[in-house]
Structure 1
Amino acid sequence: MANLPDSLYEDYSSYKLTWSPASAFAPTTTILPFPDMNTIIQWIKDLHNEIPFISDFALQNLVTHRNTYEILPLLLWKSPSTVTMMLQEIVKIYPHILRPVHSQDGTPPRAYNILLLFQCIADHPVTRGYFLKAEMPHYLFPLVNIDLTDKPLECLRLGALGVLAHMLKAPIDGAAVSFLMDNGALNYCNKAIDIGSLESKTVAVFILNKILSTDEGLQYCCLLADRFFVIDSLLKKVLMYLSSMTNPCPSLFNLVAGCYAKLSQKSRARKWLWRVPPLMLLNGTFANLLAEDPDAANYRKQLILNMRSMVMN
């Protein structure tokens, strides 16, 4: 399956949540269109400035240009105390995730922009290694695990999920897969799928799909019955959610179908799938989506063929 568009798991400010980080900044804040390297370096230094406007101006510009300069993740990582400051901004938001956030000013949008910078750090093949070695995703798990669904907090959930998703962008890093499996990524995906927005659910299933795309991830998820049934339960929740939508999301459905096709590659998983099949994927519930998405239809066909092999054997 082709990678999802970057915008789906990278920058959520344009989605239905209508939570724009820029809303927190003064009207005079401007985005410079073509900064040179000296300007980028100065913005990184300005992140530490005690004057809020200067710091916020630098942060917003770095976020805007984070995909323009491949060296930005290395500059952020190597800059003295910058990553420490970014982590402090994440920790500062923890008290706010225990209650609804009604205001669109203050800490939440700044933490969201910090998460966008962490996404480019998690994406870069060099800084990703540093990021994992320092076990920094642990600082993001509380944001994925938020129990509330109001829009500012949901954006924080999406931003944190986006960092995890960037850890798994192609080519997939085996160390990133192992880290997520060893540290309960499935449980955090569960929370996002249970109460998260459509975008949150999609990114959570994207993470699961990427894990299942690797030999070690597939082996891990199918090794024990408990793990398989947790995943099966998650995917069936998503199918139920999709079936309740007037216009089901094609990309989310494609990811779910891909997950089941991957699971069916393992003989142990096929045995369990034969016992508790994903009926809504096999019957006519999503006939329209299958007709419009050849890839999803192929995943379904592969799932059926693999399940039938149980009878033939």
Structure 2
Amino acid sequence: MGSGENITEDNRRVLDWISQVLRPETREAALLELSKKREQVPELALILWHSFGVMTSLLQEIISVYPLLNPSQLTAAASNRVCNALALLQCVASHGETRGLFLNAHIPLFLYPFLNTTSKSRPFEYLRLTSLGVIGALVKNDSSEVINFLLTTEIIPLCLRIMETGSELSKTVAIFIVQKILLDDMGLQYICQTYERFYAVGTVLSNMVTQLVDQQTVRLLKHVVRCFLRLSDNARAREALRQCLPEPLRDATFSPVLRDDAATKRCLAQLLLALSDGAEAPITGAYGHGQHSLLPGAMS
């Protein structure tokens, strides 16, 4: 069988599964098969978006789980099923031609009830992680349109809570999203605009540093350092950080874990240089009040 015939056969099966998504009795198996194929079919996002009724069916899958969130009744089977639907949404969110359409339809908001859950059980953890993956796919391409949309929603507080209480994997994706927001000029301006926003982000980052002293997880540490470094690009935040950057980032606490990570070591050195006395003259009263107690560990 030639490669052309193989491709045709694959496409035929994909279209069969797409039609099966529309029927409730065949949907679960079709979602599973399509989620397995999402890496192998480059045009799958376009097929999903433009096939009549498919996006509605995916949203039905998501909404059907809402009653199981509170009180916590989500089973592993229900979590797996909705996560297959979320994997297909991630495919749509990742594609350049469908990302804007996905945003304009405000589909990310359907995921926020999942991110707002706090149960530590595996079905809930998997649901949060997969939902974060959809938002992570949106921010991956450094699009200001995406960041501007997210800033109008509750994504920052949702991510901050997961950064404090989630599993290591969920924390990693949540801080990746916050880092991407910070790297956008509008995102940095938004977070540093008020004392309360800066305090919220800075407190969680500092708490993560405290946890990392024991855990020494380089994957998380590199994101924490990059977030602090980006915050230091803002004059008011930089002055506040001079007072309250967590001590373990100033001393040699993380030297062993950073021994083989030259990029993060360089970022940390840049951060410390930016906050040093020799760097740019400080601005008095960075946030107008209480800058000496912005973050844990800065209390005297």
TM-score between both structures, scaled by the size of structure 2: 0.87
Structure 2 residue 124 is the aligned partner of structure 1 residue 156: no
Amino acid at match of 2:55: V
Provide the rounded CA distance (Å) in 2 between the counterparts of 1:33 and 1:252.
40
Q: Residue in 2 aligned with 1:23?
A: none
Q: Residue in 2 aligned with 1:236?
A: 206
Provide the rounded CA distance (Å) in 2 between the counterparts of 1:289 and 1:192.
23
Which of 1 and 2 has higher RCO (CA within 8 Å, sep 6+)? 1
In structure 2, which of residues 112, 121, 130 is the aligned counterpart of residue 141 of structure 1? 112
Q: Residue in 1 aligned with 2:156?
A: 186
In structure 2, which of residues 260, 274, 278 is the aligned counterpart of residue 306 of structure 1? 274
Q: Structure 1 stretch 139-148 or stretch 281-290: which is displaced more?
A: 281-290
Provide the rounded CA distance (Å) in 2 between the counterparts of 1:303 and 1:56.
49
Structure 2 residue 192 is the aligned partner of structure 1 residue 218: no
Cα–Cα, structure 1 residues 192 and 312, in superposed 2: closer, same or farther, change >3 Å?
closer
Runs of 4 or more consecutive aligned structure 1 residues displaced over 4 Å after TM superposition: 32-35, 309-312
Q: How does 1:1-313 map to 2 (within 5 A)?
A: 36-51=10-25, 54-101=26-73, 103-105=75-77, 107-170=78-141, 172-245=142-215, 248-308=216-276, 313=281
Structure number with the higher helix fraction is 2
Q: Structure 1 stretch 132-141 or stretch 209-218: which is displaced more?
A: 209-218
* CA apart distance, 1:285: 2.0
> Where does the alignment leave 5 or more consecutive residues of structure 1 unmatched?
1-31
Amino acid at match of 1:79: S
Q: Structure 1 stretch 191-200 or stretch 148-157: which is displaced more?
A: 191-200
8 A contact 2:74–2:124 mirrored in 1: no
Provide the rounded CA distance (Å) in 2 between the counterparts of 1:83 and 1:311.
52
Provide the rounded CA distance (Å) in 1 between the counterparts of 2:258 and 2:98.
39
Provide the rounded CA distance (Å) in 1 between the counterparts of 2:197 and 2:205.
13
CA deviations 1:23-77 (Å, max 9, x no partner) are: xxxxxxxxx99952121111111112232xx323221111111121221111111
8 A contact 1:63–1:113 mirrored in 2: yes
> Where does the alignment leave 5 or more consecutive residues of structure 2 unmatched?
1-5, 282-300
Q: Describe the SS at the equivalent of 2:42.
A: coil
Cα–Cα, structure 1 residues 92 and 33, in superposed 2: closer, same or farther, change >3 Å?
farther
How much is the aligned-residue C-alpha RMSD, in angstroms? Answer: 1.9
Cα–Cα, structure 1 residues 276 and 45, in superposed 2: closer, same or farther, change >3 Å?
same
- Identity, % of aligned pairs? 32
Provide the rounded CA distance (Å) in 2 between the counterparts of 1:147 and 1:281.
29
Amino acid at match of 2:256: N
Q: Name which one, 1 or 2, has greater alpha-carbon Rg.
A: 2
Between the two proteins, the alignment pairs up a number of residues equal to 276
